[in-house]
Structure 1
Amino acid sequence: MSACALTSIQQRWTQWLGERSYALYTAHFPVLVAVVWLGWTHVGVTGSGLLGVPVCFLVAHLAHHLTQGLPAQQVPRLLPEVSHD
């Protein structure tokens, strides 16, 4: 991996985005559909779609913040741990 690529991976915004990538993946489509549906008569489809992008990031951030607080100790183990030695 080049030094430039490694530096960009270590950037704060890429870490932030990587931590929220699954929440963004799961939330972006319904959020964009809802924002476009609510706003297309006022600002058009393109304008409401562009407004929906920051809303998607906000929803992903909130979903990540709400779900990351669950400690691993509260999740019951269904299977015993397996050693890879």
Structure 2
Amino acid sequence: MLDYVAAHPGLRIVGYSPLLQGGIADPERMPDGYRTPDNEKRRAVPETVASETGTSTSQVVLAWMMASPQEVIPLVASFRAEQLL
């Protein structure tokens, strides 16, 4: 999808549930459909970056999306107000 959007200026991607229902921060909460060996490798990358930069894994994922040349817009929601801080 990123290649398609790159080839069509003006299009944007909305990342629905970019933190995978809390699974990015807590692997135990990862939805079953995302528990694959490939996705485990992908999930490890933001963890490494977060530990190197002193940020959270969620912050790394959201920052990557917002800094992407294809303009990925993260769509986030929460159950409690403190989750937005």
Q: If the TM-score is normalised by the length of the shorter chain, which range does it land in? A: under 0.3
Q: Which has the larger share of helix?
A: 1
**Which has the larger share of strand?**
2
Q: State which structure, 1 or 2, has the greater radius of gyration over its C-alpha atoms.
A: 1
**Structure of greater relative contact order (alpha carbons < 8 Å, 6+ residues apart):** 2
TM-score (structure 2 length as normaliser)? 0.25
